[in-house]
Structure 1
Amino acid sequence: MSAVVSETGRVGTQAAVAASSLVKVYGKGDTAVRALGGVSVAFQAGKFTAIMGPSGSGKSTLMHCLAGLDNVDGGSVHIGGTEITGLNDKDLTKLRRDRIGFVFQAFNLLPTLSAEANILLGLELAGRKPDKQWFDTIVDVLGLRDRLKHKPSELSGGQQQRVACARALVARPDVVFADEPTGNLDSRSGAEVLDFLRMSVRKLGQTVIMVTHDPVAASYADRVVLLADGHLAGEIQNPTADSVLSALKHLGA
């Protein structure tokens, strides 16, 4: 297995996802913006990590690079033992399909399909059959059993995001990336989704990496990674909303 950078910056082999000296620049010349300035960080398997920082800190850019949604200008990203920064488009697409789950702020459900069809769409496109027992486990944990035949327009925002969570998990990915997953939800629905993400880590062994601006959402995580101006600015273990808010204030968020 390839060596990766551990959570403390030392070399190790236990990380589910790791970035080493990651650089991302947007634009050229005088207008160039250095969104990431040599970030090295790792994310332990079977843990829930939140990425936070002030607006423009690079948190969304970091997630997009970690997930293979954006190219990098320097450094490397590993998912398990695979360096994804060296993959061609075909192999990268296959890796994202087979080993990564995504939950976005916009639920990204197809309006003409039922909840069940939306959950299974990725597997269908990949020509894979679902594991019925795993599907049933996810559906029951998320409380979607009596909503499977409903279309997105017949579901609340919270229910739609739970469908999106089920879709992300049904393929048993190595890691789930959640980008502001509660951004379009009221506090109650948001708490339900965060409860599930935390439960998926603790009971189902999932690895979750979430970008959020909300200290309450971050308090559901096992660890918070802080960014400022494209650089690591610290981390918080076992975060609370208050400890996250205090850290963000020190960063000028």
Structure 2
Amino acid sequence: MSALVSEVGTRTAVAAANLVKVYGKGDTAVRALDGVSVAFEAGKFTAIMGPSGSGKSTMMHCLAGLDNVDGGAVQIGGTEITSLGDKDLTKLRRDRIGFVFQAFNLLPTLSAEANILLGLELAGRKPDRQWFDTIVDVLGLRDRLRHKPTELSGGQQQRVACARALVAKPDVVFADEPTGNLDSRSGAEVLDFLRMSVRKLGQTVIMVTHDPVAASYADRVVLMADGHLAGEIDNPTADSVLSALKHLGA
């Protein structure tokens, strides 16, 4: 694993080496990931795309420590997470990884502010109020902090989820279909923020999406097919992504 990191340089935020994930056994076994090696540069916005069943969501779950691997290794910020025990892995996910999912996963009884700060509170950590204020103002949530999720639009709820993901200053934010439940306008607002968090706040974002327009907000697109890497696109446009997906049979 260290060889992979030294190859791609010290600015690597997340790296995988020979990653294997198998579902099922015997004749019904499916190799969702079949020896995948890939690195994600710190301070960049990367989208992972591919046809249904290509392994893109499985790869994200393994990179984020949400799923065990059957072979290979994953490293986040210099820590090999595939060798960690459950307790250490839970702590790493809490302290060093941010998550934004298609479902907003907000607690309905808490205000927007309490939802944003919940992870820090559970970890016994005090928020950096200046950083909190920066995120809240950038996301336009200042006048929504006392509102509960049911009093917010879908786009506002996802912006609260983005703030929650960033408030702990994680090494990386994983976004799994973050615009899947949003209309096009709200989706664009969330994607604008994710891109801005990379370019102005120095965040690292890795996003799984099926949408070529969403992928066009990224600096780089990693393409997957049948559990393998199938290419990549730098400075993607919606058209270049759509063309690549057509070649993959998506």
TM-score by length of 2: 0.98
Q: 1:195: Cα distance to partner?
A: 0.1
Check conservation: 1:3, 1:13, Cα contact below 8 A.
no
Deviation string 1:33-81 (CA, Å, 9 cap, x unpaired) is: 1000000000000000000000000000000000000000000000011
SS in 1 for 2:124: coil
SS in 2 for 1:4: helix
Q: Which residue of 2 aligns with 1:59?
A: 56
SS in 1 for 2:127: coil
Q: 1:31: Cα distance to partner?
A: 1.1
From 113, 135, 140, give the equivalent of 1:138. Answer: 135
Once structures 1 and 2 are overlaid, which stretch shifts more, 12-21 or 203-212? 12-21
Check conservation: 1:3, 1:12, Cα contact below 8 A.
no
- Counterpart mapping for 1:23-102 below 5 A: 23-102=20-99
Q: 1:13: Cα distance to partner?
A: 3.3
Q: 1:6: Cα distance to partner?
A: 7.3
* Counterpart-to-counterpart distance in 1, 2:78 and 2:163: 26
Q: 1:111: Cα distance to partner?
A: 0.3
Q: 1:5: Cα distance to partner?
A: 4.5
Q: 1:30: Cα distance to partner?
A: 1.1
Q: 1:96: Cα distance to partner?
A: 0.3
Check conservation: 1:120, 1:167, Cα contact below 8 A.
yes
Q: What is the number of residues matched between the two proteins?
A: 250
* Counterpart-to-counterpart distance in 2, 1:142 and 1:110: 19
RMSD: 1.2
Provide structure 2 residue ranges, at least 5 long, that are not aligned to the other structure.
none
- Percent identity, aligned pairs only? 93
Q: 1:170: Cα distance to partner?
A: 0.1
* Counterpart-to-counterpart distance in 2, 1:177 and 1:202: 16
Deviation string 1:150-175 (CA, Å, 9 cap, x unpaired) is: 00000000000000000000000000
Once structures 1 and 2 are overlaid, which stretch shifts more, 25-34 or 182-191? 25-34
* Counterpart-to-counterpart distance in 1, 2:20 and 2:3: 19
Check conservation: 1:218, 1:241, Cα contact below 8 A.
yes
* Counterpart-to-counterpart distance in 1, 2:198 and 2:38: 20
SS in 1 for 2:2: coil
Q: 1:231: Cα distance to partner?
A: 0.1
Q: Which residue of 1 aligns with 2:4?
A: 4
Check conservation: 1:5, 1:40, Cα contact below 8 A.
no
* Counterpart-to-counterpart distance in 1, 2:79 and 2:3: 10
Once structures 1 and 2 are overlaid, which stretch shifts more, 219-228 or 28-37? 28-37
Once structures 1 and 2 are overlaid, which stretch shifts more, 25-34 or 169-178? 25-34
* Counterpart-to-counterpart distance in 2, 1:4 and 1:68: 19
Q: 1:105: Cα distance to partner?
A: 0.1
Check conservation: 1:23, 1:38, Cα contact below 8 A.
yes
- Would the alpha carbon gap of residues 40 and 5 (structure 1) be closer, same or farther in structure 2, given more than 3 Å must change? farther
- Would the alpha carbon gap of residues 38 and 214 (structure 1) be closer, same or farther in structure 2, given more than 3 Å must change? same
